Structure 1
Amino acid sequence: MDSRISTQSIYSLPKPTRRNVNQQQTVSFHNFLNNEIRNSSVLKISKHAQYRMDTRGIDFSAEKWLAIQEKVKEARIKGVKDSLVITQDAALVVSAQNNTVITVLNRDEAKSQIFTNINGTILID
């Protein structure tokens, strides 16, 4: 061996160890998040539904809107995914699963429509 070449031991950094994430914690957080989403009582309005409401002049009083939110929440608890909500003045297609109003029609328009993929109906006077 040549005296000009010296050998040194190379110290390597310790390999990172994988932290075992407690499966129970992950599941608990997942359940917590799903419960929070399900229990959210604020009914959102999609852009499409808001546009329909604006162009058709459909407006709901605060009391009527709260009643709609409560009934959609009840429907979601009972397993309804998509619902038709019929009020005195309008018909709303609501995704109870996502807590979102998908579209809104006047009652006159709703008379001649066929609603599909709905597994629940809510009547509100």
Structure 2
Amino acid sequence: MGKININRVPLQPSIRQPITTKQVTSPKQSFLQHLHEATVKTELKVSKHANQRLAERNIHISDAEWQLVSEKVAEARSKGVNDSLVLMDQAALIVSAKNATVITAMDRTEAKNQLFTNIDGTIVLN
């Protein structure tokens, strides 16, 4: 009797997938990425209520001052602050650091007689 050749045929066609390499990040790189993401400048938003209070109370804050407030709020957020009182020369702002949003605003003379609750940080700017 002769030799019988048996060819094995796969039941399902083989699908070749391209070999991909995942970028492996070291713990140091991962930390630096997270640090960068946490410190990326987030533009401070002003709520409708706060915008109305700024207009009603004739409070004018320059772009440079807004930038400083934004930077300090980001710094406070990185330290775990959720809601902060920001004291400026001309105004007092309640800011949600967590949401990067100004919640309300008042002028400094009005702020002198106020009791501020539900804040866990204060930023004093001069």
Fold match by TM threshold 0.5: yes
* Number of residue equivalences: 92
Which digits, 9 at most, give the CA deviation of each residue in 1:77-104, with x for residues without a partner? 0000000000000000000001000000
Counterpart CA distance in 2 for 1:104 and 1:82 is 14
Cα deviation, residue 61, structure 1: 0.9
After TM superposition, the score normalised by the length of structure 2 is 0.68
Counterpart CA distance in 2 for 1:52 and 1:36 is 32
The answer to whether residue 91 in structure 2 is matched with residue 77 in structure 1 is no
Q: Percent of aligned pairs with the same residue?
A: 53
Counterpart CA distance in 1 for 2:78 and 2:38 is 12
Which digits, 9 at most, give the CA deviation of each residue in 1:4-42, with x for residues without a partner? xxxxxxxxxxxxxxxxxxxxxxxxxxxxxxx96984510
Alignment of 1:83-94 (within 5 A): 83-94=84-95
CA RMSD of aligned residues (A): 1.8
AA of the residue aligned to 1:76 = R
Alignment of 1:5-84 (within 5 A): 39=40, 41-84=42-85
Q: Look up the SS of the partner of 1:103 in the other structure.
A: strand
Counterpart CA distance in 2 for 1:36 and 1:104 is 28
